[in-house]
Amino acid sequence: MSTNNSRRKFVQGLGAVTASGIFIGAPSLAFGASKKVVVVGGGTAGATAARYLKMADPSVEVTIIEANKDYHTCYLSNEVLSGDRTLDSLKHGYSGLEKEGIKTVIDYVTGIDAKAKKVTTKGGASFDYDRCIVAPGVDFKWDTIEGYDAATAEKIPHAWKAGSQTTTLRKQLVDMKDGGTVIIAAPPNPFRCPPGPPERVCQIAMYLQKEKPKSKVIYVDPKKKFSKYGLFVQGWKKFYGFGTDNSMIDYIKSDGIAKLDAGGMSITTASGKTIKGDVINVIPAQKAGKIGAAAGLADKKGWCPIDLGTFESTIHKGIHIIGDASIAKGMPKSGYAANSQAKVCAAAVAAMLNGKEPGSPAYVNTCYSVIAKDWGISVAAVYRLAEDRSKIIKMAGGLTPMDASDEHHKRAVENAYSWLNNITSDIFAGG
């Protein structure tokens, strides 16, 4: 899909697929005996599932248990680092969902008993359920980088969960001298938001170019390529001199971080190369959020296997895992993917609670990346479930053309901001 017109029609069609495709064959629900669903995690996936389940069957008693009273979206949080966005602009609460009849409990889930169908919390409360939806997000594999752990991350931030570490990293950039070096160390696959690290390179380079032009970014990545590779490299060349002697970006590929010396402010790569930095941003390898392992929902690799049509755990029946923690084979771990998968799960849970067969699911994903001021790129896709249910298959897709005009790239940024407003309203009902 290489023309502006065809791409525009494709993107416009995503909403229709989301609205109709995931509810194909949805049951005509008979509201009867009380049905209880506990949603663990109130982020993009969890809040979406709670809201769409309540809309599908208002008789269901839906409870979200979330550790934080406010949620900050990770998508577009890299703009906080460039100074183009405030962290508060990404903050959302649960008042909108509560107005729609969804109960919100601010507490930390410590256990899920699949046999007893009970969720317990750090505050001492317990919640019975008929079905449980778990959206724990990601946790980090701290043992994969020598010298890096959760405590060190408060000083050498990963900032891969939008919040206090995002603010810390921004302050470090502001405090850095002109002529300083910023190191960004990307994780191996799979991880949350595949284009996030190269976008972060752009956002930090954009800030440095304006405020500290003698500085540079060194991007260390264990992979040979990354999502939207050609478009990012094109943007790096256009705006940051990549490939020239005056490049603001140095890119080291196929050679990830192996060791961090926090005191000496340096990293050592897998090939043994030592690099010193003034600001270091380490994004470690990832796995399903802690409750995934604690509840016995994760496999040996740390992710949660599921039935791709219902997102029900293949380890513990009655529990559904959605969002980044799930093994949604064929789809990226992105915000829009989580939103789409949550709607599939909500429709399936509503059907199953009422003794009906879940409908035929469809899924969508769109991802925007802002490379420079008024210059963005995007990728979008529509998916369906394979007949043997072994994977999610891409049916159609669109990618920003390499020969796109500056106006096209400007519209991509505008579309990104519009998308952010629309998806957060969809998730949190204005809360």
Asked if the structure places residue 92 within a domain, the reply is: no
- Asked if 236 and 317 sit in the same domain, the reply is no
Asked if the structure places residue 163 within a domain, the reply is: yes
- Asked if 354 and 366 sit in the same domain, the reply is no
Domain count, the chain: 3
Burial class (CB in 10 A: 0-12, 13-18, 19+), 31: exposed
- Asked if 39 and 133 sit in the same domain, the reply is yes
CA atoms within 13 A on the CB side of 184: 25
Whole-number pLDDT of residue 337: 98
- Asked if 118 and 211 sit in the same domain, the reply is no
Query: CB 138: neighbour CB atoms within 10 A?
Result: 24
Whole-number pLDDT of residue 249: 98
pLDDT one-digit tens code per residue, 195-250: 999 999 999 999 999 999 999 999 999 999 999 999 999 999 999 999 999 999 99
Determine which helix (DSSP H) or strand (DSSP E) holds 410, and give its type and residue range.
helix 406-428
Q: Pick from 360, 379, 403: which residue ends a domain?
A: 360
Determine which helix (DSSP H) or strand (DSSP E) holds 110, and give its type and residue range.
strand 109-113
Closest to 232 in 3D by CA, of 381, 371, 379, 373 = 371
- Least confident among 9-23, 34-48, 318-332, 412-426: 9-23
- Asked if 146 and 204 sit in the same domain, the reply is yes
**Residue 250 phi/psi, 5° resolution?**
-105, 130
The 3-class secondary structure across 333-348, one letter per residue, is CCHHHHHHHHHHHHHH
Contact indicator for 373, 206 with CB cutoff of 8 Å? yes
Asked if the structure places residue 93 within a domain, the reply is: no
Kindly write down the DSSP assignment for every residue of 166-180, as one continuous string. HHHHHHHHHHSPTT-
- Asked if 343 and 376 sit in the same domain, the reply is no
CATH number for the domain that contains residue 52: 3.50.50.60
Torsion of CA 251, 252, 254, 257, to 10 degrees: -120
Beta strand 249-253 pairing with 216-221: parallel
Asked if the structure places residue 295 within a domain, the reply is: yes
Range of 373's domain?
1-22+362-425
Sequence length of the chain is 431
- Asked if 326 and 213 sit in the same domain, the reply is no
Rg (CA), the chain: 22
Whole-number pLDDT of residue 185: 98
Asked if the structure places residue 339 within a domain, the reply is: yes
Distance CA 130, CA 367 (A): 34
Distance CA 9, CA 64 (A): 36
Whether the pLDDT of residue 335 is over 70: the answer is yes
- Asked if 210 and 169 sit in the same domain, the reply is yes
Q: Which residues pair with 103 in a beta bridge?
A: 63
Q: Pick from 317, 343, 360: which residue ends a domain?
A: 360
Distance CA 15, CA 84 (A): 28
Q: pTM of the predicted model, to two decimals? A: 0.93
Beta strand 375-385 pairing with 392-399: antiparallel
Closest to 178 in 3D by CA, of 201, 218, 210 = 210
- Asked if 176 and 114 sit in the same domain, the reply is no
Across 285-326, the runs of DSSP E, i.e. the strands, are: 286-288, 319-321
What is the CA angle 401-3-1, rounded to 5? 75
- Asked if 264 and 172 sit in the same domain, the reply is yes
Mean pLDDT of all residues belonging to the chain: 93
CATH number for the domain that contains residue 411: 3.90.760.10
Q: Which residue has the higher pLDDT, 53 or 31?
A: 53
Q: Pick from 330, 360, 390: which residue ends a domain?
A: 360
pLDDT one-digit tens code per residue, 123-135: 999 999 999 999 9
Asked if the structure places residue 289 within a domain, the reply is: yes
Confidence of residue 4 (pLDDT cuts 50, 70, 90): very low
- Asked if 128 and 146 sit in the same domain, the reply is no
Instruction: Tell me the helices (H) and strands (E) count for the chain, helix number first.
Output: 10, 22
Contact indicator for 377, 409 with CB cutoff of 8 Å? yes
- Asked if 250 and 318 sit in the same domain, the reply is no
- Could you say which DSSP state residue 51 is in? H
Asked if the structure places residue 241 within a domain, the reply is: yes
Amino acid at 221: D
Asked if the structure places residue 84 within a domain, the reply is: no
